[in-house]
Structure formats: structure tokens, C-alpha cells
Structure 1
Amino acid sequence: MKSLMEIYRYTFSYRWQAILTIIFNLLFVIFNLLSIVLLIPFLQMIFKTEEVKYVAKPVYKGITHIVEYVTNSYQYIMQEMVKDDPKSALLFVCVTVFIAFFLKSLFRYGAIWHQSQLRMAVVRDIKNKLYAKALRLPMSYYTEERKGDLMSRMNSDVGEIEIAVVSMLELVFREPFAVLTSIAGLIYISPKLTLISFILLPVSAFVISRIGKSLKRTAKAGQEQNGIVYSAIDETLGGIKVVKAFNAIRYVQANFEKINLRHQQLITKAFRKRDLSPPLNEVLGSAVMICLVWFGGVMILDGQSGLTGSKFVGFIIIFSQLLRPIQGIATSVGNLNKAQPSQDRINEILNTEETIEQQVGAIPLTTFEDSIELDHVWFRYKDEMVLQDVSFSLKRGKTIALVGESGSGKSTIADLLPRFYDVSEGVIRIDGQDIRTYQLEDLHRHIGIVSQESILFNDTVRSNIAFGMDDAPMEKIIEAAKIAHAHEFIINMENGYDSVIGERGNKLSGGQKQRLSIARAIMKNPSILILDEATSALDTESEKIVQGALDELMKDRTSLIIAHRLSTVINADEILVLSKGKIAERGTHQELLEKKGLYHNLCSLQGMQS
């Protein structure tokens, strides 16, 4: 029920669009019924039988008798026209019925016009909320969850909400009104026959509820499987080189087909359950209609009820129209049941706790003046203690290098400094102040990161260098590129700085991508620089060029370097050797060599001379 209320709120978040959709739908229902009712007096007049009842010119008796007045007025006009010229009466009824059908179609299109704006505006808003939330989610979320599942929620699940918004309007306003007006017309013609027809409604309601419960379970499983499908696609395309290099095409294809088959089976099952209600209701409706034909025929033949042949034909036509909104209710309920798991999956994202939040009353970090200090820092990820009692101080303008085997905690320290994660115990301070007390935007503004994987975007060179900056001067962009040793290859590209570099920069070489990342960091002009394996993925020639760019970037900056290639950190002011989350050794390059400990062993393994 909570999910349905949220869908209801989505529907009326654009109140006037929703109200106009409702008004046009109600007018559509009225003229749909009117286009049928208009035929009944004509049938009475044109097929002259003893049953024809002639009426006197009606007198208006007030609003409470408006239906009777309008009906008798139309019948009186038809009656007079049939007396004078039956052909004119035929033309008149054809024109009035055509006008009724035209207005019915016009109002239906009016409803669709406003409904289309409403449904897409709701979809846009939900996607905006999900995207904004995805940007604020902690890094731990992306470690534990699949990106493909998030994409599935932003596409398939939101698509189900789009359908549900339309179904909500139709279920709450249009279809019940259509049912009530049709029943009112049936009661007006023959209360006795209407009572017989009421057997359809409870049976339909029972069928809808039974199918709906089953549909909700299947739809949830289908949407979860769809997330797995998206993840498989994202994973495969992201590692397509590895797939080809290891001749794994058949393997990943078979794996994907297995996942996709399961998705197809679940979605097919959900569609079958959703689409079962309308035909079942139609069968039940046709059964009731046959009963009505029999009962009504008997009543006319017995001549006891006052039911005429023309009214009976009108009754059957109206009753057939009653089936459409009942089937519409079944379809809408099915769509809403299918949308509820999607709404729950969307809420899982929107309600995910933002563990890295800015404190109330956070203070600005205007300048970095003195030092960064890690004071007895511990960090736990799930059940594993990644860092244990780590303490060191990095003075302004100095460089500290972190080295050690894989998994020793080097990158974790780099992630703690910009608060991608928060420490489990201990404290990190900048200029003597706990970093958790600073405004997050200020903290990030002072920190520049160049990582092993060059994260670039499918945009121009200019936009990637000036990423996150509005109206950055071209002169500064070129200056940053020159410092990063990137200007020369950029101007040789087809469109220079306006060249689009492809998804993740795949039109560039590894060295070119890394130099663009460095130019981006230079453009940001951070006080604190984090270099996380910035050259480890490059060949010797590219590494030499990139290292020159990094040296330019590090001038007069406070730098934290993480490196496997120890040749890149020999000039660091201090080197920390990490092992199993602890600082095992610390000192300058020469001091650590003289200790002949872990660092000395690492240097020997890399062939570095003592």
C-alpha cells in the first residue's frame, strides 16, 4: 500500500496536468456513453411497433430532472421528425451520433496529450532523483553492488512507474466513472436486468486480486534478474579486450544467454499473469451477457416488464461498453501490482544511508597552511581490519610515498583523505582540524587525484581538462596541457581541443590519457595531491613522459604518492612501508636501504641498486 501511495503522489506531483487528464477522461466517458444512448430513441421511432410511446413537448422542471428533460427533449425532436420526414430523422441522428463520436475522440486525445506530458515529467523527475542519489552514495555502495543493477533500476523499474502513473489515473478516476455511468444507464433502462448483471463485478474482483498477488512476486524477481542482465552487459563490454584475448567469447556468450533466458522466463511469466485478467473478465462478461440476452428475451416475449426491443438493444450495447472499463480496471491493477516491486527497488536506492555526510555547522576550508596528520587511524571494511594504528604527518610542500605489497592498505589511506570513506577509529586532521568538520566541497576542492586508471569522459579534450569548471578560460586550459606535456599531441588531433576522445578516452593511448588526467589536476590547482599508481600501467617511454608531467604537477605541492615502482619515489621526503595494514618501516630512500628490511627487499626484487 505504501508503494501505491508513492505512485499516487508521483501522479499528482504535476497537479494541473493530472486534473486536466482526469477532466478530459471524464468527458470521454460521458460522450462514449452518449454516442450509444442517442441511438435508442431513433430505433423506437424508425421501427414503428405497438411499443412506441409518444411523448408531449417536455417542460423543464429544474436541475433534479435534467436527465429526464434532456432524454424527453431528444425523443420529442426525433418523434416530430419521424412524423414529417423519416429520412431527415435518419440524417439528424447520424449527424448527432457523429458529433458525439467526434467529441469522444477529441476528449480522449486531450487526455492523452496531457497524460503524455505528465508521465514523462514523472519519469524525468525520478531519474533525476536516482542520478543525484547515485552521485551522493558512498564508495562502499559501488564496491558491494552491481552498477548494472543501478542502471536497471533507472531504466526498467522507472519504466514500470511510468506505466503505473497512467494506470493510477485510469483506475482511480476514469474507469470507475465509466462503470458508474454505464450502470446508471443500465438501471435507467431496466433495473431488473441490471441486478442480474451485477454478478460479474464480485467475480471479476476476486479474479483480479488472486492474479495480482502472484504477479507482484514474479515481477519483483524479474526486475532483480534484469539488474543481473545489465551488470553482465556492463562487465563484458568493459572488459571486451580481455574477453577476446582469452578466446572467452563463447564462454561469456553462454553465460549471458543463461542469465538472459532466466530473465526472459520471469518476464514472460509476469506478462502472462498480467494479461490473464482481461481475457478472463471478457469470458465472464460474455457469459453474463448471454444470460442477459436470455432473460431479456424472455421478458420481452412475456410482455411483463415494459422492456421494448429497442431499449433491450440499447441495454446490451451499454452493457458491452461496461466490460471495457472493467477490463481496464483489471489491466490497471495488474500494472500497479507489477510496478510495486519496481517502486520498492527504487526506494532501496533513494533510502540508502549516506554514510559520508557533511556535519551540521561544518566549517569552510579556505586555505591549507600547515600539515595533514593521521592520528592512530584504524579502518575496518566489513569484518576485515584494513588499517591498524596508522600515524604520520605530512607537512605542507612535502612529499610522502606509500609503498608495500598489494592489499597492505596504501590506497585505503588515499581514499580516507578526501573522505570517500571515514575512519573506524582515530582521526585525520588538516591544519589541526578533524577533516569531518570541514565542508565536503571545500575538502574536495583542495585535493587533486591522479589514479592508475585514467577516468575520462566521452566529451571533448577541452571539457575533460576543465572538468567541473564552468566557462574555464581557454588560455588556462592550454597552459595546463602544456605543463602536463599534452599540448603537442592534442593539437595534432583532428579537431584539437574540441576533439571528442570517446568513452573512457578509448581514442587515446594510455600515456595520452594519463597526461590528460594530469592536465585536469593541474587545471584544478589543488593544494594537496594524491598520486595513486599514476605510472604503473604505462610502458617505459610513456612513463618517462608522464613522470616529467607529474614532476611539474608536484612542484610546491603537498603530495601523497602510492607506488609499486620504487624508482618513482626515491626523492620523496619520507617513505612509509606498509605491511598488513600497519606501518612496518619509515624513512628516506637511503635510510630504508641501510636498514636492510622490507624496503631493501622490495628494491632488490625490482633490480634497484643499493
Structure 2
Amino acid sequence: MTKAKENIFDFTLFKRLFQYIKPYKIIFFSLVALVILLAILSTATPYITKYAIDNSIAVKAPKSFLFYVLIMFAVLIFQTIFQLAFIYYAAWLGQNLVKDVRVKLFNHLLSFKMKYYDTSSVGVLITRAVTDMERIADIFGQGLFTIFRDLLAMIVVFGVMIYINWRLSLIVFIMLPLLMYATRIFQKYMKVTFEEVRNEVSNLNSYVQERITGMKILQLFTREAIDYKNFTVINERHKKAWLKTVWYNSIFFPLADLVSSISIGLVAWYGGLNIVLKGTDVSQGDLIAFVMFIPMLFRPLRQMADNFNTLQMGMVAATRVFKILDTTSQIDDNGTHVAEHFKGNINFNKVFFNYVEDETVLNGISFDVKQGETVAIVGATGAGKSTIINLLNRFYEIKDGVISIDGMDIKQITLESLRTQIAVVLQDVFLFADTILNNITLNNADITEAQVEAAAKDIGVHDFIASLPGGYHYNVKERGVMLSSGQRQLISFLRAYVTNPSILVLDEATSSVDSHSEQLIQNATDKMTNGRTSIVIAHRLATVKKADKIIVMDAGEIVEEGTHAQLLKKEKGYYKNLYEVQFLKEEVI
């Protein structure tokens, strides 16, 4: 067992969590005050019972007994009110704290490089942002304050018991170290077990999320039986991790009850024998009070172990959340120039890039795109075409070289203004489970529905949207499943066009759409690229032939550059071969 795992309570981690309590410090200190009041009031009932028995019942004085009953009733009323306030505001504090941490985590995730998401499991990240957050809330709602309340209650009970009868107290305290030692061992093993549980929960969430998202692929390739088998293995590990916690609980809690029962038995034996023999060491009130006190002394210790489970789960969850918050995977946004509008002159100068160390993707490429030009990039899969799009928007940092727009290094331009002026239409269109209007504007209040409708008419997609139930307010559901691939592509074109970008980047993909949608996409492409600096990853001959310049890539290098006519004149040229193999067939068709 590592040293980290042997630490029962991570004070450094809690100190960090405490920073989020500062805005709610009035509630926090009010809860501390309630804890103290509840600890004091918890001893009042047995204490009043003792005096009621000794001063009223034993001496047969019914008038004074009513007085004690009224006092006890008042104590119970106050105890109930304070307990209600404690439970509510402890949970309130936990939920507000988690709200702040979750917002900070989400904001942090928004700024990460694409590389982080390339190597991270979506299911794990969802677990951190949702499930783990609730466990952090439990630190305050059911963990820390409850443990503090129980611990303080034990101390108060301990003091009152000694004050009432030190001999009976001695009998109880002989048994206490045994339970305290068992609690210590229990807490140590539970921390390790809960860390294992959180790992298995993350694995389970990740696996389920990926399989549900990719269900079509599983069914297309009849992988249901295999993935069912894999799921049962993961689920079995999850079950075993939880059963470990059940096992430790099943050992500890009966042991705690046994120690408590033995203590009550010893006190009853000694106190009862003393009363029968008419000794002076124990009164009837003492005996009854101690029978009530013993569960109050042992139960908090037992509950602390239970609440410590909650605390441990919360601390493990907090560790995982803070690990993400401590991750530095942001693109350096040190630019000072705010770009309001680009002319559109783009230059790649000896740009080197790799996603993975020692695996070069772009090998010192250089090219120019002049203002208003449409440049088509063609080449085999893996040649580096899409990488150019990613680098122009600074989704990844280049290894060497310079990318500039209008003569300025894009690193000198603020990220927000850079990406605002560059609109991208990707081959893999992502739509949110929302209306078409919100998917186009992305909830940008500066873009009105009238502007969206005008832009849709401008590029020829208004009729298609208007034909849908609800028109622009039609909900496309998760990932746009209510639309065809061609319709999703048209929405993505409109999303880019409505922002009126200075530079347009198109990963033109029409291979899986019908002829009508393809024609609409081609018309939209012509309209959007007209007079605007555009970079197009071309999949269709029509786009290639219309381009002002064609860049031909192979294995991360530019092998040819020129117009369609110029490149066809090169004997045994790469583009000419590509044209004859791919584009010429399309032209014939």
C-alpha cells in the first residue's frame, strides 16, 4: 500500500476545497455553530432523565416530574429545529460549492487543445463533471460536518458521563479503544476500496457511452455478442469493487454493535448489582442515564465510520476533478492583436507538425493564398490536408515554422478574434440536440432569426428548412439524427455563412449525399467562396476545376501546385494521375 493511500484524510486537498467555501463563509460558520449546539443538546435528554428519576420517581414527587417532562419537551423541539437547519444548510453548502467547481471545470475543459480530447475518454470526462461532482457535494452534506458533529457529541457525552459517575464511565471506556482501533483499520481499507470503485465507475461509464454512440457500427458488423461479453466483464469488475465495500461494512458494523451491547451489559451488571446491594456508587438515575449514554457514545463512532465512507468517496472524486483542473493543455493565447476583419492573405512558411512525437504529419510545407482566392487541396488520405485546417485555427501548436494572415503571425492574434474571422465547414458535421436555428447561431444573441433566414435564402437552403415541421425551430435531436447527411451538411454551410467570415475553410464532403443535396451544397459552395479567401479540401472535380490554385499533397509534403490546366500538362504528375484515377471517372459519369 502506497503512502498516499495510507493517508486517511488529505488535509492539503481539503484546504484546496475550502477555497471554494469563502463566498459562503457565513453559512459555513453558522453550520459550525449548529454542530456545537446539537452536540450539547444531545446529552440533555439522558441528563434530564437521570434527575427526573432520582429527584422525582425515586422519591415519589410527581409535581417535580412534570417540570422535567416540560424541560425535555422543550429540548426536543429545539433539537429538531436545529437538526433540520443543519441538514438543509449542509446540503445547500455542498451543492453551491459543487456548482462553482463544476462551472470552473467546464470552463477549463472549453479551453483545452484538441489533442487532449484526442487522447481522453468522453465517458471518463462525463463521470468527472457529473458523478464525481455529486460525491464532492456529499463531503459537506453527509461527510465532514456530520463527522464533526458526531465527534463533538462524543466528547460532550464523554465529559458528562465522567461528571455523573466516573466508575460506570471507566467500564465503558475500557471497551472504547477496541472500537476506535477497528474504526481506524476500517477507514484505511475503505479509502483504497473507494478509489477502486471510482476507477470502475469511470470505466463502466466510458464503455457504455462509447457503445451507445457507436451502436450503428456494432449492429452493422454484428458485434452485439462480443460487446455484450466485454460489458459483462467490466460490469463484473464494477460489482466486485462495490462488494469489497460491502464486505468491510459487514465486518465493522456488527462488531461496533457487539462492543456497544457488551458495554451496556457490563454497566447494567455493575450498576444493577450496586443498586440491589444498596451501594452508594450508582443511583437508579445514573444507571438509566448510562444505558442511554452508551449508544450515544458508540453510535457516533459507528456513524463516523459510515460517514467517513462518504467523505472518502468525496475526497477521491475531488482528487480526480482537481487532476483535470491542474492539467495545462491550453493553447497559449498571448496574442495582443484583435482582428476585426482579415483581407485574407494566408502564408504557411516551412511549417512542421506532428500529432505524436517522431511521427511527422507536415514536413516543412510552404504555400500562399492570396486575398479572394479559392485554393483547393487534394491528396490521398493521411496526406495532411485536414491538419492544415486545424493549424490555421490554432487547434494545435506547430512544431516549427510560421503561419501568418495578412503578414501577421497568427500567434500574435487573439484566439477569439482569429477563430471568429475564420469559418470552418467540416466533413464530419456535428449538430446539437436543439433547434435548427440554435444549431446555426450557436445561441449567439447578435445573430437574429431574420439574418439566418436571409442567409439561407442567399445560399439556397431556405426552402429545405422551411419544409421541415416547425421550420427553423425544428429540433434535430442528438447529433442531428432527424436529418440526412446532406441536410446536416447544408446546416453546417449555413452556420459558417451566417457569421460573414473573412476566411472560409471547407472540408467539402458530398460522397454520401443524394444528388439533390449535392447540387445544393455545390451551389452553396460557389456562393460562399465567391470573392472570399477560401481553402477547400476538395472531394469533387467541380470544386477542383473552379479553384484559382490547386495544392497537391502527399505524405505531409506539397508535391505539386498550380491550376487545373497547368497540373494536367505535367507528364506523370501526381495530380494528373489522381485526375485520371478519380476525377476523370466522375467527369465521365
| 8 Å contact from structure 1 (residues 529, 554) kept in 2 | yes
Q: Match for 2:262: what amino acid?
A: A
Pair 1:489–1:607, CA change in 2 (3 A): closer
| 8 Å contact from structure 2 (residues 194, 316) kept in 1 | yes
Task: Show the 5 A alignment for 1:216-295.
Answer: 216-273=191-248, 276-295=251-270
- Please give the alpha-carbon distance, in whole angstroms, between the structure 2 residues aligned to 1:399 and 1:435: 20
Question: What residue in structure 2 maps to residue 120 of structure 1?
Answer: 95
- The alignment partner of 2:353 has SS state of strand
Q: Does 1:372 align with 2:382?
A: no
Question: What residue in structure 2 maps to residue 95 of structure 1?
Answer: 70
- Please give the alpha-carbon distance, in whole angstroms, between the structure 2 residues aligned to 1:523 and 1:557: 14
Count the aligned residue pairs. 574
Q: What is the CA-CA distance between 1:575 and the residue it aligns to? A: 1.2
Pair 1:274–1:346, CA change in 2 (3 A): farther
Question: What residue in structure 1 maps to residue 486 of structure 2?
Answer: 511
Aligned equivalent of 2:362, options 377, 387, 399? 387
- Please give the alpha-carbon distance, in whole angstroms, between the structure 2 residues aligned to 1:607 and 1:124: 55
Q: Give the stretch that moved more between structures: 313-322 or 598-607.
A: 598-607
| 8 Å contact from structure 1 (residues 452, 537) kept in 2 | no
- Please give the alpha-carbon distance, in whole angstroms, between the structure 2 residues aligned to 1:166 and 1:370: 56
Q: Match for 2:293: what amino acid?
A: I
- Please give the alpha-carbon distance, in whole angstroms, between the structure 2 residues aligned to 1:413 and 1:472: 29
| 8 Å contact from structure 2 (residues 111, 330) kept in 1 | no
Aligned-pair identity in percent equals 32
Q: Match for 2:573: what amino acid?
A: G
Q: Does 1:601 align with 2:577?
A: yes
Give ranges in structure 2 of 5+ residues lacking alignment: 1-9
Q: What is the CA-CA distance between 1:386 and the residue it aligns to? A: 1.0
- Please give the alpha-carbon distance, in whole angstroms, between the structure 1 residues aligned to 2:536 and 2:37: 70
Q: Give the stretch that moved more between structures: 246-255 or 378-387.
A: 246-255
- Please give the alpha-carbon distance, in whole angstroms, between the structure 1 residues aligned to 2:234 and 2:432: 30
- The alignment partner of 1:391 has SS state of strand
Q: What is the CA-CA distance between 1:264 and the residue it aligns to? A: 2.1
Question: What residue in structure 2 maps to residue 66 of structure 1?
Answer: none
Task: Show the 5 A alignment for 1:358-437.
Answer: 358-359=333-334, 362-369=336-343, 371-383=345-357, 384-437=359-412
Once the two structures are superposed, residues 400-424 of structure 1 have per-residue CA deviations (whole angstroms, 9 ceiling, x without a partner) of: 1111111111111110001000101
Question: What residue in structure 1 maps to residue 45 of structure 2?
Answer: 35
**RMSD between aligned residues:** 2.2
Q: What is the CA-CA distance between 1:593 and the residue it aligns to? A: 1.7
Q: What is the CA-CA distance between 1:97 and the residue it aligns to? A: 2.2
Q: Match for 1:148: what amino acid?
A: G
Question: What residue in structure 1 maps to residue 521 of structure 2?
Answer: 546
Q: Does 1:481 align with 2:456?
A: yes
- Please give the alpha-carbon distance, in whole angstroms, between the structure 1 residues aligned to 2:344 and 2:536: 19
Aligned equivalent of 1:344, options 319, 323, 327? 319
| 8 Å contact from structure 2 (residues 344, 502) kept in 1 | no
Once the two structures are superposed, residues 290-347 of structure 1 have per-residue CA deviations (whole angstroms, 9 ceiling, x without a partner) of: 3333343444456555321221211221122112221222223222223332222111
Aligned equivalent of 1:449, options 424, 440, 445? 424
- Please give the alpha-carbon distance, in whole angstroms, between the structure 2 residues aligned to 1:168 and 1:5: 15
- Please give the alpha-carbon distance, in whole angstroms, between the structure 1 residues aligned to 2:83 and 2:556: 67
Q: Does 1:15 align with 2:28?
A: no
Question: What residue in structure 2 maps to residue 65 of structure 1?
Answer: none
Q: Does 1:333 align with 2:308?
A: yes
Q: Match for 1:371: what amino acid?
A: N
Once the two structures are superposed, residues 517-555 of structure 1 have per-residue CA deviations (whole angstroms, 9 ceiling, x without a partner) of: 111111111111111234343233321211111211112
| 8 Å contact from structure 1 (residues 409, 581) kept in 2 | yes
Q: Match for 1:365: what amino acid?
A: A
Q: Does 1:26 align with 2:26?
A: no
Q: Does 1:526 align with 2:536?
A: no
Question: What residue in structure 2 maps to residue 55 of structure 1?
Answer: none
| 8 Å contact from structure 1 (residues 212, 274) kept in 2 | no
- Please give the alpha-carbon distance, in whole angstroms, between the structure 1 residues aligned to 2:245 and 2:538: 52
- Please give the alpha-carbon distance, in whole angstroms, between the structure 1 residues aligned to 2:305 and 2:549: 72
Q: What is the CA-CA distance between 1:168 and the residue it aligns to? A: 4.5
Question: What residue in structure 2 maps to residue 496 of structure 1?
Answer: 471
Once the two structures are superposed, residues 130-169 of structure 1 have per-residue CA deviations (whole angstroms, 9 ceiling, x without a partner) of: 2111111110011101111100111221122122223443
Q: Match for 1:571: what amino acid?
A: K
Once the two structures are superposed, residues 568-587 of structure 1 have per-residue CA deviations (whole angstroms, 9 ceiling, x without a partner) of: 32211111111111111111
- Please give the alpha-carbon distance, in whole angstroms, between the structure 2 residues aligned to 1:283 and 1:427: 74
Pair 1:507–1:29, CA change in 2 (3 A): same
Question: What residue in structure 1 maps to residue 565 of structure 2?
Answer: 590
| 8 Å contact from structure 2 (residues 461, 520) kept in 1 | no
Once the two structures are superposed, residues 372-402 of structure 1 have per-residue CA deviations (whole angstroms, 9 ceiling, x without a partner) of: 1111000122221111011111111111111
- Please give the alpha-carbon distance, in whole angstroms, between the structure 1 residues aligned to 2:273 and 2:216: 78
Once the two structures are superposed, residues 451-504 of structure 1 have per-residue CA deviations (whole angstroms, 9 ceiling, x without a partner) of: 112111111122122124115222211012212322112222222222212111
Q: Match for 2:354: what amino acid?
A: R
- Please give the alpha-carbon distance, in whole angstroms, between the structure 1 residues aligned to 2:325 and 2:453: 40
Q: Give the stretch that moved more between structures: 14-23 or 162-171.
A: 162-171
- Please give the alpha-carbon distance, in whole angstroms, between the structure 2 residues aligned to 1:115 and 1:574: 66
Q: What is the CA-CA distance between 1:244 and the residue it aligns to? A: 2.6
Give ranges in structure 1 of 5+ residues lacking alignment: 53-81
Question: What residue in structure 2 maps to residue 142 of structure 1?
Answer: 117
| 8 Å contact from structure 1 (residues 32, 101) kept in 2 | no
Q: Give the stretch that moved more between structures: 347-356 or 139-148.
A: 347-356
Question: What residue in structure 1 maps to residue 539 of structure 2?
Answer: 564
- The alignment partner of 1:365 has SS state of coil
Q: What is the CA-CA distance between 1:607 and the residue it aligns to? A: 4.9
Question: What residue in structure 2 maps to residue 174 of structure 1?
Answer: 149
